Amino acid sequence: MDGDLPAQGGNTAGAAQDGREAGDQGKLRVPKTLVRGARTLLQIAVFFAAAASAAHATCIEAKATGDVHRIYGQLILVGFKGLTAADDGVKEVLSDLEQGYAGGLVFFRRNIASADQIRKLTGLLKPGAAGFLPFLAVDEEGGKVERLTPRNGFTRQPKARDVALRGPEAARAIYDQMAGEVASAGFNFNLGPVVDLDLRENNPVIGKLGRSYGKDPKIVGEYARVFVAAHRNKKIATALKHFPGHGSSRKDSHLAIVDVTGIWQRDELVPYRALIADGMADAVMLAHLINREFWSPGNLPATLSGDAVKMLREELKFDGVIVSDDLQMKGVAERHPLAQAIVLSLAAGSDIVLIGNVLVHQPETARFAVRTIEQAVARGELDQARLEQSFCRVVNLKKMVGG
Distance CA(359)–CA(5), nearest Å, equals 11
Cis previous bond, 244, omega within 30: yes
Distance CA(390)–CA(374), nearest Å, equals 15
Provide CB contacts within 8 A for 177, sequence distance 6+: 155, 157
Distance CA(187)–CA(123), nearest Å, equals 10
How far is CA 303 from each of CA 332, 349, 370, rounded to the nearest angstrom? 8, 9, 19
Q: Smallest Cα–Cα separation from 366: which of 126, 374, 391?
A: 374
**Would you please indicate which residues are annotated as catalytic (active-site) residues?**
254, 325
Query: CB of 277 within 8 A of CB of 255?
Result: no
Query: CB of 236 within 8 A of CB of 183?
Result: yes
Distance CA(132)–CA(97), nearest Å, equals 9
Distance CA(236)–CA(50), nearest Å, equals 16
C-alpha gyration radius of the chain: 20
